[in-house]
Amino acid sequence: MASVDIEECVQSKRLHHSNEYHSVSDEERLDIQCDLLKWYQLEKRTNMPWRKPTNKDCDIETLAQRAYEVWVSEIMLQQTQVATVIDYYNRWMEAFPTIRDLASADIEQVNTLWAGLGYYSRAKRLWEGAKKIVEKFNGILPNNARELQQEVPGVGRYTAGAIASIVYGEATPVVDGNVIRVLARWRAIHADPKKAKTIELFWQV
């Protein structure tokens, strides 16, 4: 995608300035990575069942199972609070512990388990995605963000990046509302965070 200029995102002419004002040096990038990782180690939540230590050198079956678990959690967490998702996730994994179990289920079973979580199209895409992964990839989710986004129904840039980085250790960007808030304050980006061009700018930062 073409590079986005900050002036395309900010309405007030008083706030226009060079993109270099928001650029990040390698040293700054390393500093904030270290700071954020330190903060995460102190503040991370430990009650989320999908958060498990992952070693990218594990055997392929173990990695495939972790990829499935992360995929389910990321889809459930879309526009839904963590506290709500935990119970649904646990029930889902009890009913469909593997991607093959999900693929062999019928849509009525899937929708029944999803009932109350909202946005039912998410459940259908998980089910359709599981069928495709079993049929085309022998039940193994792709190990990189590009292929995940291309091949798995309902998996966009964020979810693909989350699976690829958490499970397979790929160094790939992941931008959500939390990332946008941190970057906007850090780099003084006073633009509407909901606009498509602004979001693309954050992916480029």
Distance CA 167, CA 54 (A): 6
The length of the chain is 205
Among candidate residues 78, 62, 186, 60, the one with its CA nearest the CA of residue 126: 78
The residues annotated with a catalytic role in the active site are 74
Residue 169 identity (one-letter amino acid): G
Among candidate residues 108, 65, 189, the one with its CA nearest the CA of residue 175: 189
